[in-house]
Amino acid sequence: MTRAPQDNQLEVCESEHLQRDDTVHTALQRQLTPHLTVHRIIPQRAIRMIGPWCFLDHFGPVAPANYRQFDVAPHPHIGLQTITWLLSGQLLHQDSLGYEQPLRSGQLNLMTAGRGISHAEVADHDPDQPLHGLQLWCALPPEHEQTEPRFDHYQQVPKFSLGNCTATLIMGSYATEQRRLTSPALSFSPTMALLLQTPQATVVDIQLERNFEYGLYVVSGVMAALDKQTKSHQLLSIGANRRHITLELSADSIVLLLGGEAFEQPVKMWWNFVSASEQRVKQAQQDWDNQHERFGHVAHYQPPSN
């Protein structure tokens, strides 16, 4: 998706490089469309980045009648990967590479912007489920910022049981007691995104990589961990240098575990552009304003009729 027009200040995002931390952060609300309010957990003043993750939006639920005309017009990106995951609803991805890909719950859309791409996101057909999902941005390491843009769609990713939780491995790998599972999603740096869902109150022990920074975002329900209670639209930052964490989850909880190695250097974010180089970000804005060919044209996109 896109950041709102008011998100037009240059932000510096960097890993905290924290060995240990247990701070609760509350998401900020942003109005993306008249019917769609997003809860933004990163970046914000108190927490800028978790490993390579520099952006996390939680959108919806929005009733079907209120997003049948959902339309995020073509907009550009550089220097990042966008990860779109739906808990319910129907979206359609369209981009300047010519892809037109429907997205449903349990599927993954992964767009690698690299040196430049543009895309649009619209409601697909006549939706009959609420729109509810997550979008994340993963910053590309400096040596991969200029990679060729690409789009990947994954019909399924690994799903397994952790105690009474259903765990979905969106990106990266996770080691259970029996084996190590790996998502097929393309990644350019050590990272992971694991979604936990439980219909009943439960306690679950999560294995962690000692050199990863981690955060736990509560999509719904209530989570207790490290003597902290974290509710919907809040994230518990737990830093690094941990081997495991025990979570107490209320009934009907959904929790996203984000992790990754600390980014070696800060990244600059301006609107939808991410780069270690401020000059590269400014150049991208100029190129978009001047309709530079690097961002292509989203040929399938049709503006909504008035």
Domains of the chain: 11-295 (2.60.120.10)
| Triad 113, 44, 148: Cα angle to 5° | 10
pLDDT value at position 137? 97
In this prediction, residues 277-293 reach a mean pLDDT of 95
User: Confidence class of residue 32 from pLDDT cuts 50, 70 and 90?
Assistant: confident
Contacts of 4 (CB under 8 A, 6+ apart): 30, 31, 32
pLDDT value at position 34? 77
> Is the pLDDT at 7 greater than 80, yes or no?
no
- Please check if 121 is assigned to a binding site: yes
Query: Mean pLDDT, the chain, as a whole number?
Result: 92
- Please check if 233 is assigned to a binding site: no
CA distance 192 to 195: 10
Handedness of CA 131, 139, 94, 280 (dihedral sign): positive
- CA-nearest of 209, 272, 218 to 247 is 218
Q: CA dist 150 to 92, 153, 155, 202, 292, Å? A: 16, 10, 17, 40, 18
The answer to whether the beta carbons of residues 53 and 74 sit under 8 Å apart is no
* Span 39-90, pLDDT tens digits: 999 999 889 999 999 999 999 999 998 888 888 899 999 999 999 999 999 9
- CA-nearest of 68, 12, 93 to 45 is 12
Contacts of 34 (CB under 8 A, 6+ apart): none
CA distance 190 to 173: 9
The answer to whether the beta carbons of residues 269 and 10 sit under 8 Å apart is yes
In this prediction, residues 164-172 reach a mean pLDDT of 97
The answer to whether the beta carbons of residues 26 and 237 sit under 8 Å apart is no
Helix (H) or strand (E) holding 214: strand 212-220
CA distance 91 to 122: 6
Start-end of H helices in the chain: 278-289
CA distance 177 to 209: 14
> Is the pLDDT at 5 greater than 70, yes or no?
no
pLDDT value at position 55? 96
- Please check if 16 is assigned to a binding site: no
- Please check if 119 is assigned to a binding site: yes
pLDDT value at position 250? 98
